[in-house]
A and B are shown apart, each in its own frame.
Chain A
Amino acid sequence: MSIILQNPNRRAWRRSFWLTMAFGLGVVAGLLLWGLTPPQRAAAAVLTMVIAAVPGLLRPWLASLPFRAWNKLARVFSGVATAWVTAVCFYIVIPAIGRAGSSLRLGAEDRGGSLWTPWPPAPAYGGGSAEGIDRANTSTYGWVRDFTAWARRSRNPWAWYLMPFLMVLAAFEPPPNVEAPPPGIYTLY
């Protein structure tokens, strides 16, 4: 799940963002009020949450600017974080796991053959395959399960070492841009 939010134009998203922020503010208020007893701190936290939540609930457009500002911050952070994680992977993880061994054919000249992979035959049920991915070998439980299954099946255990980093990178990946229609799509008026 990406850390960058979508749908800034939808009231429900603005409202829920505002409520989330109000919740966070309440938690912070509860933590900062050291001088009070725990019940008093809990009450203060709840009160802060309620007071902070009301304006955004009644006027969701109030959340527009904070929503966009937060998303901008999230985009900047995800850009920096992605660069850092990929650098760590490139300089530390990849060289090390390369030594763990791989069944991948990484060089054509070693064997003097082509690196082209034969197109998988279409299954009898007519489902076919898209982009060379055999549907029979993919699951509906997301790419994590597919990736680990592929690593096991193809005897490339090194791929498991990459998994935590790929998951972090997936969280930093921006969602598809829903602000602008894809080129060639005519907006319905």
Chain B
Amino acid sequence: MKLLRAVYASAATILALVLVAPVLVLGLPFWVVAFLTRTLARRLEPPFGTWRDLVRFDRTIGWRPRPNVDGYFLSEQGDVFHVVTDGEGWPGRHGFVEGDVIVFGDSIAFGWGIDAARSYKELSPRLRIKTVSAPGYNLVQELLLMHEIAPRLTGKLVVWFIYHGNDLYDNLSPFMGSYRTPFVRNAKDGLGWEIVTSHLRPRAWRIGPGRHDWRRGLASLYGPTFLAQRAYSACDFLLGEAKKICDGAGAHLVVCTIPSPSALGERASRLKRYSEQPESFDPGFPDQQIGELCRARGISFIAGTRHITLSDYNRPDDHWTERGHRRMAEVLQRIYDEHARGARGAGPMADQSLPAGIGTAGSGV
């Protein structure tokens, strides 16, 4: 009886396989294409790492890129790209001495998502660009680096990229994902801001739910909201400190904002829906605010929205395309040319004293 049932089941299975056969025949070309594409792609693509393989813990700024990297990395949702870092971990093979322009910034300044040879750093034939940057950096980390590198900034043009997409918000946050970051908080005496680094440890940050609703935070920076007031006030403090460092080192500081693709073109109306005050949402608000802060402090200011468009960003990855890098290379060339003309007119820059240091809080979070 058991054998009979097994034979019955086998017969039914064979009948079902006959019925499924047309699907298998029609599906075969899809399967062959998928198999060949996967097999070939694995052979064409070099071995690669992720950003976790690129950075190492640093007790003063949270993390920094590994030195002497010459390898490939995978950009989230993007492509595999070539990364080269110098002996200190900063992108490119040029040193500070040869650099005409020193760029401070985050992953965009790092050239994340594009081969090192095709990034803005390498596209200016007449300009040697050195960048001090890493994926995920906020302005506080960049300011701390500016302070560290200050003795080597003398006579240089320092360009500070401020990315609307997350820099302004991240300055106020003690973590980025599970990574601990330096941040600014209101000073205990109630006057101004102070930098906090005492919570930096290699251990993962487990307090708080993480950035679960970053669009709402981003949208709030495009209008006079409570978050925006805090973020721009903190930004003002950081700009002031950067200005002091650059003046002290005899460097000329230029702030260049980088627009978030979420607020460019038709995508701005989508972002507006996340704002606490949609009626006052203005895509030009960050540039207007940062521009005014820079003017008040005597810092040269370039609004990135005038030069970078939505099509200069990779989608869905929010970093620049090759065209975006070309545009930024042109912008930097123009900034440098103007700076050189100004410097020639006004005579050589005075070699001033080194900065007295920036206020770093030692207390816990």
Contact = CB atoms under 8 A, between A and B. Distances in A.
Interface of A: 1-5, 7, 9-13, 15-17, 19-21, 23-24, 70, 73-74, 77-78, 81, 84-85, 88-89, 92-93, 95-97, 99-101, 157-158, 161, 164-165, 168, 171-172, 178-181, 184, 186-189
A93 B44 CA distance: 42
Contacts of B31: 1, 3, 171
Nearest to B317: A9
Given A92-B15, A99-B5, A189-B318, A20 B77 contact: no
A3 to B, nearest CB: 4
Mostly, the B contact residues are helix
Contact of A171 (B27, B40, B163, B212): B27
Sorted nearest first, the 3 A-B pairs with minimum C-beta distance are A96-B12, A16-B40, A186-B211
Interface stretch (B16-24, B190-198, B228-236, B243-251): B16-24
B237 to A, nearest CB: 22
A96 B9 CA distance: 5
Nearest to B33: A20
Contacts of B10: 161
A189 B9 contact: no
B306 interface: no
17 contacts: A5-B33, A9-B77, A9-B314, A10-B41, A10-B45, A16-B41, A16-B44, A20-B36, A24-B29, A77-B26, A78-B27, A96-B8, A168-B20, A171-B31, A186-B214, A189-B108, A189-B135
Given A77-B27, A97-B12, A164-B17, A184 B210 contact: yes
Mostly, the A contact residues are helix
Interface residues of B, number: 58
Interface of B: 2, 5-6, 8-13, 15-17, 19-20, 23-24, 26-27, 29-31, 33-41, 43-45, 51, 76-80, 106-108, 135-136, 163, 165-166, 176-177, 210-212, 214, 314, 316-319
Contact of B8 (A70, A81, A100, A165): A100
B4 to A, nearest CB: 9
A164 B21 CA distance: 11
A13 B37 CA distance: 7
Contacts of A73: 30
Contact of A4 (B34, B77, B163, B318): B34
A171 B20 CA distance: 13
A124 B302 CA distance: 64
B39 to A, nearest CB: 8
A189 B136 contact: yes
